[in-house]
Amino acid sequence: MGGAEALDLARESMWVLIVMAGPIMMVGLVVGVAVGLLQALTQIQEATLVFVPKILAIFVAVILMLPLMAASMSGLMNTIMQMIIRP
């Protein structure tokens, strides 16, 4: 494997990482901002209030995004296996 192929594999791996983690991180961000805004509007200053909704939302997002995440990982693994098999 040459330098160009290694760079292509690294780029592909980074893209899979973004595809897998991006939606989950966005869900956590949106829920965190929404709960923070709700806390600011109602003047409830409980620091632990944001954790339960965020954990539940991220859990639901992971369950919903699992097929996309599996397909992304499977595609990357197929690419790596083809690079290993290729003489």
- 52: exposed, middle or buried (Cβ count in 10 Å: 0-12, 13-18, 19+): exposed
Question: Of 26, 27, 25, 12, whose CA–CA distance to 72 is shortest?
Answer: 12
- CA 10, CA 8: separation in Å to the nearest integer? 5
* Predicted confidence (pLDDT) per residue in 14-54, tens digit: 999 999 999 999 999 999 999 989 988 988 888 788 889 99
Per the structure, how many domains does the chain have?
A: 1
Tokens 């899979």, residue located: 16
- Residue 3 is predicted with a pLDDT of 83
Range of the domain at 8: 3-85
Spatial CA neighbour of 34 closest among 19, 63, 56: 56
Mean pLDDT of 59-70: 95
Which residues, at least 6 apart from 31, have a Cβ–Cβ distance to it below 8 Å? 50, 53, 54, 57, 58
